[in-house]
């Protein structure tokens, strides 16, 4: 990871994505689902930022809003070009955003549905090269063949269709497509969650090797913290559309500062039986809050075992607790929460 922590490659400022709820015959707007609600963080060049949380917390929506697949409701997406110029991607129109889709690419969750079954590997991986006028004909074939080699696939597979590949191989095709335009930032949306555990490890190692070779920056969206621990330099935790904690990976795993993060970490599988006996899983009461009708104050307070009256009425600010560890909890500096006792720390 790069130590350059001056100007971020990408910075989100109060990013919002609210989906309208339509009701009645006239389809009037009766409310909004606040899928991403006032999220701010920075991604620095060369790092992997893990974005975690339960299903429905808004992490995939955030990734797609950052990519401008979804139109932001509010906030800024500040991107630093190679020249040093800062551009707000949130306020560009469809024509203006197109050049930036070369720099920011996405790896999708399901390798089965994200690849067109009617196209060959050459057409799938070569599409961005062709659409951007970078290569055609024999040159296109050569570039796609080289991309396949980079992701561990044989160039003879160029004219095969997606159904001829395993899930792990299909995901490698998706990775090759994402790398085709030599991007600077890659948003990996649950990139290994649909794969078997052994294939997950191979894919994670591949992503790390490619990061080093191409000086890539990753936003790695996942729900599995054991996967995130392996690949991420820093971790951001989301709950019901809001950022509740952000810290260096080791710091967050050893000493979480938000009760929700503590509960997530308690579910991380522990390979050593001795470590398993030392801690029990924290089972949260109730259900995840409804982003269309969130509770007052801290969104997590109905499920939090430390909640007090203040939590029900006052929304906690995302505070810096030192060394870049941020947490949105009124009692973050007082609580002694349980982290994951890794083998290194045992």
pLDDT score of 129? 93
Distances (CA, A) of 140 to 65, 102, 135, 176, 290: 30, 17, 5, 13, 48
Containing 167, the helix (H) or strand (E) segment is helix 167-179
Nearest 5°: the CA angle 42, 43, 46 is 155
Residues ≥6 apart with Cβ < 8 Å to 98 = none
Q: What is the CA 303 to chain-centroid distance, rounded?
A: 24
Structure tokens at 151: 């992701």
pLDDT score of 278? 54
Average pLDDT across each block of 10 residues of the chain; the chain has 346 residues. List them in order. 66 96 88 94 96 92 95 96 94 93 91 87 94 89 95 94 92 95 95 84 94 96 90 96 96 95 85 56 82 94 93 95 95 91 46
pTM recorded for the entire structure: 0.91
For residue 288, count CB atoms less than 10 angstroms from its CB and return exposed for 0-12, middle for 13-18, buried for 19 or more: middle
Cα–Cα dist 53/38, whole Å: 16
Closest CA to 46 of 76, 5, 87, 88: 5
Backbone φ and ψ of 90, nearest 5°: -65, -25
């Amino acid at each position: 990871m790069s130590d350059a922590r001056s100007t971020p490659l990408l910075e989100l400022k109060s990013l919002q994505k609210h989906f309208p709820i339509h009701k009645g015959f006239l389809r009037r707007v009766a409310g909004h689902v606040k899928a991403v609600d006032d999220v701010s963080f920075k991604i620095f060049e060369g790092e992997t930022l893990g974005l975690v949380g339960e299903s429905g917390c808004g992490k995939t929506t955030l990734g797609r809003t950052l990519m401008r697949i979804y139109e932001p409701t509010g906030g800024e997406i500040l991107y630093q070009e190679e020249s040093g110029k800062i551009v707000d991607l949130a306020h560009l129109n469809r024509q203006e955003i197109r050049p930036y889709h070369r720099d920011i690419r996405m790896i999708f969750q399901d390798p089965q549905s994200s690849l067109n079954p009617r196209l060959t590997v050459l057409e799938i991986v070569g599409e961005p090269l062709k659409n951007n006028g970078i290569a055609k004909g024999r040159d296109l074939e050569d570039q796609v063949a080289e991309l396949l080699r980079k992701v561990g696939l044989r160039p003879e597979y160029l004219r095969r269709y997606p159904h001829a590949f395993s899930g792990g191989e299909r995901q490698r095709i998706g990775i090759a497509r994402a790398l085709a335009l030599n991007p600077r930032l890659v948003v990996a949306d649950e990139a290994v969650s649909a794969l078997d555990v052994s294939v997950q490890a191979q894919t994670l190692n591949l992503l790390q090797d490619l990061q080093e070779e191409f000086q890539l920056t990753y936003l790695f969206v996942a729900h599995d913290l054991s996967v995130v621990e392996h690949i991420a330099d820093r971790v951001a935790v989301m709950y019901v559309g809001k950022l509740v904690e952000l810290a260096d990976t080791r710091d967050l795993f050893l000493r979480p500062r938000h009760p929700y993060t503590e509960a997530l970490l308690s579910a991380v599988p522990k390979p050593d039986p001795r470590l398993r006996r030392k801690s029990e899983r924290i089972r949260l009461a109730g259900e995840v809050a409804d982003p269309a009708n969130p509770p007052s104050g801290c969104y997590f307070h109905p499920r939090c075992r430390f909640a007090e009256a203040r939590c029900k009425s006052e929304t906690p600010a995302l505070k810096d607790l030192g060394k870049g560890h941020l947490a949105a909890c009124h009692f973050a500096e007082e609580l002694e929460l349980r982290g994951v006792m890794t083998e290194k720390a045992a």
